[in-house]
Amino acid sequence: MSAFLDARRLPNGTVLTPDLAIIGGGPAGIALALALKDSPFSIALLESGGMNFDPKVQSLYRGAESGLKYVALDAGRLRYLGGSSNHWGGYCRPLDAIDFETRDWVPYSGWPFGQAALAPYLPRAQSLLEGGAYLYDRLREGPLAEPLLPLGPGGVYTSFFQFSQWRGNDQHLPTHFGLRYADDLRRIANLQVILNANVTGLRLAADARALDRLDVATLSGRRFAVKPRHTVLACGAMENARLLLASNDVMKPGVGNQNDLVGRFFADHAIPRDTATLVVFGGDLASYYKATQDARGAHFRATFSPTESFKRARRLLGSLATVEQRVELDALGRAAVTIASSALGVDGSNAKAYSLGCGLEIAPDPARRLTLTGERDALGLPRLKLHMTVSDQDFARYRETLAEFGRQLLAAKSGLLRLDRKTRNEWLSVIDWGDHHMGTTRMHADPREGVVDANSQVHGIANLFVAGSSVFPTYGSSNPTLNLLALTLRLADHLKGLFR
């Protein structure tokens, strides 16, 4: 087993020359290193943190905000081996086919390839995050111990999350990539993991067509360089943009930013809580709507999604409406149940009510962006500022999905739905965010419209690649990690080809 190297022990001025440098040891960086084990080239994985949380390292993530209130930049991510997987929720779901399409009702939409390009990598990604059998919406086919909630024909259906579940503990925690894979990384002969190593600059060759070297610094004051043949930036969607923007000595707007796209199109999933009340006339809902459940080798939970054809017909985006908790109906709600159930000729006397939350896709917006500020961190790197936005149309689209859901409940005589948030202010008052950072180095075949190409290579820079959800041009409503891991495994195959 090779020990991890501590950058604080490297002499000043050291120059390392691996074939491949991976910057960042979160899920993307770790998955890439694991996928490249036994490759005939040497790899250095440079990780800013150590094996545990350290407030001094974490404060390198501090930043500023404007616009809509959002999570503080040093609160929604973690800076040590394993990255944000050290406190993620483990919710997983593959992107839908429509999420990859260019849609005329979603400006800036469309990936340079379709769902089929990621499909072969998804089961391997699922296995890396210990998600059990790869089933998702095939869980609908059963057998499940309890029936699906009956819905009339229409645009909303029961879909499924599955969960990352680290097998090494009995608390059902999701996989923490640093802890879970540290020993596997140590066993990889062609890999050197270097902890406490902060990349502070991506230095381009004078012709700006290739990356020449990486500047690396430790908080203890050491400075050294890495001169790899190829580099993959895997620092999470905020920090990927920050490093590209701050590396502006040769390309003044920043590396890959000749078209002013780096840092723009930041996205997350809005998670409005208590958006609606779901009433089930017959009483109880199947338990997998209310909590996670194990069956058929999967740990899963049900949610309600708009179908692809409904999204297409009504020009909508994705949403995942999830049952939050049992609630008591007020007098108006009880009256609505009595009137609706008797009009439908069903027994509503045992009706139960549940609050519904949601994970909501928001539309791409170039004004929702990260820029550099004048303030610098302890290593001299400019800090970030995030300008956050969300449009009324994002909420309106979800309201339309909820209205359809309500219509289908009545059609099936199984229940009703009451919309609890109407105005923008009401929506904003119940919004959380998923900390699913996406979009800041968007992928597009055309360099004028994207930062990286279909192979995740930074346009115009032959030996620089980006891994992680910063490359997502449109986001879907699915949680990003399963999908970014699949994309990373695809990138690993591409890199193997380059070294052949």
Say whether residue 359 binds ligand FAD (CB under 6 A): no
Q: Which is nearer to ligand FAD, 108 or 181 (CB)?
A: 181
Interaction pattern, residues 88-127, with ligand FAD; x per rule: CB under 6 A: xxxxx-----------------------------------
Q: 148: which residues sit within 8 A by CB, 6+ positions away?
A: 140, 158, 286, 302
Pairing of strands 293-295, 63-67: unpaired
- Nearest distance from residue 144's CB to ligand FAD, in Å? 22
- Nearest distance from residue 94's CB to ligand FAD, in Å? 11
Sign (positive or negative) of CA dihedral 447, 453, 459, 462: negative
Integer Cα distance of 142 and 298 in angstroms: 12
Options 196, 292, 293, 469; binder of ligand FAD; rule CB under 6 A: 469
Answer whether 36's CB lies under 8 Å from 20's CB.
yes
Say whether residue 215 binds ligand FAD (CB under 6 A): no
Q: Which is nearer to ligand FAD, 34 or 353 (CB)?
A: 34
Options 18, 50, 83, 263; binder of ligand FAD; rule CB under 6 A: 83
Say whether residue 29 binds ligand FAD (CB under 6 A): yes
Options 7, 10, 23, 241; binder of ligand FAD; rule CB under 6 A: 23
By CB under 6 A, the residues from 32 to 61 that bind ligand FAD are 46-49
Question: Which residues partner with 166 through β-bridges?
Answer: none
Sign (positive or negative) of CA dihedral 5, 41, 239, 198: positive
Question: Which residues partner with 204 through β-bridges?
Answer: 211
Options 468, 477, 487, 490; binder of ligand FAD; rule CB under 6 A: 468
Q: Return phi, psi of residue 339, to 5°.
A: -65, -50
Options 435, 466, 473, 492; binder of ligand FAD; rule CB under 6 A: 435
Say whether residue 480 binds ligand FAD (CB under 6 A): yes
DSSP for residue 205: P
Sign (positive or negative) of CA dihedral 176, 179, 184, 189: positive
Name the CA dihedral angle for 181, 183, 185, 189, rounded to a multiple of 10 degrees: -160
By CB under 6 A, the residues from 192 to 211 that bind ligand FAD are 198-199
Options 79, 180, 413, 459; binder of ligand FAD; rule CB under 6 A: 79
Q: What DSSP element (H or E) covers 465?
A: strand 464-466
Q: 232: which residues sit within 8 A by CB, 6+ positions away?
A: 20, 21, 22, 23, 29, 32, 465, 466, 467, 491, 495
Chain centroid offset of residue 78 CA: 14
Chain centroid offset of residue 127 CA: 17
Q: Which is nearer to ligand FAD, 351 or 362 (CB)?
A: 362
Interaction pattern, residues 239-258, with ligand FAD; x per rule: CB under 6 A: x---x---------------
Beta-carbon-side half-sphere exposure of residue 69 (alpha carbons within 13 Å): 7
Q: Which is nearer to ligand FAD, 131 or 364 (CB)?
A: 131
Q: Which is nearer to ligand FAD, 28 or 280 (CB)?
A: 28
Say whether residue 85 binds ligand FAD (CB under 6 A): yes
Say whether residue 175 binds ligand FAD (CB under 6 A): no
Q: 163: which residues sit within 8 A by CB, 6+ positions away?
A: 90, 91, 92, 131, 172, 174, 292, 299, 300, 301
Say whether residue 414 binds ligand FAD (CB under 6 A): no
Options 4, 18, 19, 24; binder of ligand FAD; rule CB under 6 A: 24
User: Given the rule CB under 6 A, which residues bind ligand FAD?
Assistant: 23-29, 46-49, 76-77, 79-81, 83-85, 87-92, 198-199, 234-236, 239, 243, 435-436, 468-469, 479-481, 484
